[in-house]
């Protein structure tokens, strides 16, 4: 996706979009793969690229219930039991980063996910799937209102400034200011990690909720969906302050603004892919300008979370992989070339 162009279908999409249709009228783009069903309720995916063999990469997806699970899927959509994490009390969102320094000589890739009913942030190593958090880290404990302590969205951030790792966590409901907390993740003894609150930030409209959070590590921006209002943009680096940089997309969605995936290329180009949940579409924004450039119907229903990687994985996903949650308890896989 090196250059964005307004295709012939884009003007038609805008006309259809503006006519008040409650469901997408655009031609459906079918998935290449549909995963096996989970037990309860899919919500949010993350993608781990196997550095030794990309065809053995793993898609992690949350199954949201009091007896929930972080399911691991192969690229054919089959569940990998030995890589899944069961018995999680309502896991909500999940994210992943590479190269966390467990100690001076060892690094590991990590996933983070929220365990809402326990009010915890969880961190596991990948691909050996070992907990690094000592059973979980309680979040939002500084807030005296217990209703504001239940976590929901999460995104990891690996700083381009100094390589530090952070978790940016949102909640099921919260105040109009400082809806998000940012925690620094650092290694400690016995292959565990510690968490330190470094800032509170993020305005909330009060209209619905904030769930989807995504960080562009290379450019240093964090985006989140204020579901009833707009997509909001801040600096991801704590030292750069808490001022809102942009709010966009307010006229582009039927109701809820949901999952955000960032397709990032080394030259700074790319796209933000955002779920228009009730309409069953995805709005695509230019990574640099945040301008709306394309609207697609990917045949999903009520999509919450989505994720993307831009490198080739196998013959089915030669251009990268986009994964979106579907409300029938599955995740849909697409070759990224279908979104261009």
Q: Tens digit of pLDDT for each residue in 244-298?
A: 999 999 999 999 999 999 999 999 999 999 999 999 999 999 999 999 999 999 9
pLDDT value for 105: 87
What is this structure's pTM?
0.93
CA distances from 79 to 61, 74, 76, 286 (A): 10, 7, 9, 33
pLDDT value for 287: 98
Does 63 have pLDDT greater than 50?
A: yes
pLDDT value for 104: 84
Contact 116, 92 (CB under 8 A): yes
Does 221 have pLDDT greater than 60?
A: yes
pLDDT value for 21: 53
Contact 156, 166 (CB under 8 A): yes
Does 15 have pLDDT greater than 50?
A: no
pLDDT value for 115: 98
The region of weakest confidence among 9-18, 36-45, 74-83 is 9-18
pLDDT digits (tens, 9 = 90+) for 199-214: 999 999 999 999 999 9
Rounded Cα gap, residues 111 and 83, in angstroms: 12
Percentage of residues in the chain with pLDDT exceeding 90?
Answer: 90
What the block records as the tokens of 99 is 């190269």
Mean pLDDT value across the chain: 93
pLDDT value for 154: 98
The radius of gyration of the chain from alpha carbons, rounded to an integer in Å, stands at: 19
pLDDT digits (tens, 9 = 90+) for 284-336: 999 999 999 999 999 999 999 999 999 999 999 999 999 999 999 999 999 99
Confidence of residue 4 (pLDDT cuts 50, 70, 90): very low
pLDDT digits (tens, 9 = 90+) for 127-147: 999 999 999 999 999 999 999
Residue 11: what are its φ and ψ, rounded to 5°? -65, -40
pLDDT value for 12: 41
Q: How many CB atoms lie within 10 A of CB 296?
A: 23
Q: Taking residues 150-163, what's their average pLDDT?
A: 97
Sheet strands (E) in 3-128? 33-34, 42-48, 58-63, 68-73, 85-88, 91-101, 107-115, 120-126
Contact 151, 170 (CB under 8 A): yes
């Amino acid at each position: 996706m090196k250059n964005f162009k307004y295709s012939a279908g884009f003007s038609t999409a805008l006309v259809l979009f503006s006519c008040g249709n409650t469901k997408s009228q655009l031609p459906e783009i079918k998935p290449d793969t549909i995963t096996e069903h989970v037990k309860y309720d899919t919500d949010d995916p993350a993608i781990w690229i196997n550095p030794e063999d990309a065809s053995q990469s793993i898609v992690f997806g949350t199954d949201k219930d009091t007896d929930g699970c972080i399911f691991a899927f192969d690229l054919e959509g089959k569940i990998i039991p030995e890589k899944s994490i069961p018995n999680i009390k309502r896991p909500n969102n999940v994210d992943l980063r590479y190269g966390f320094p467990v100690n001076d000589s060892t690094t590991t890739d990590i996933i983070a996910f929220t365990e809402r009913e326990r009010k915890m942030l969880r961190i596991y190593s990948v691909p050996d799937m070992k907990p690094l958090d000592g059973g979980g880290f309680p979040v939002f404990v500084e807030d005296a209102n217990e209703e504001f302590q239940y976590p929901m969205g999460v995104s990891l951030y690996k700083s381009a400034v100094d390589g530090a790792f952070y978790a940016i966590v949102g909640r099921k409901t919260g105040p109009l200011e400082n809806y998000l907390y940012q925690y620094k993740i650092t290694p400690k003894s016995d292959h565990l990690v510690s968490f330190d609150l470094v800032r509170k930030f993020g305005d909330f409209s009060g209209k619905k909720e904030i769930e989807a959070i995504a960080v562009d590590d290379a450019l240093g921006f964090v985006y989140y969906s204020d579901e009833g209002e707009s997509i909001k943009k801040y600096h991801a680096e704590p030292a750069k302050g808490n001022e809102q940089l942009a709010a966009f997309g307010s006229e582009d969605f039927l109701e809820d603004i949901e999952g955000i995936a960032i397709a990032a290329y080394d030259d700074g180009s790319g796209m933000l892919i955002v779920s228009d949940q009730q309409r069953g579409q995805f709005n695509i924004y230019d990574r640099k300008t945040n301008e709306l450039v394309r609207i697609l119907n990917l045949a999903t229903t009520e999509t919450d979370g989505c994720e993307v990687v831009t490198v080739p994985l196998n013959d089915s996903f030669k251009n990268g992989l986009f994964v979106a949650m579907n409300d029938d308890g599955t995740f849909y896989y697409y070759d990224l070339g279908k979104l261009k």
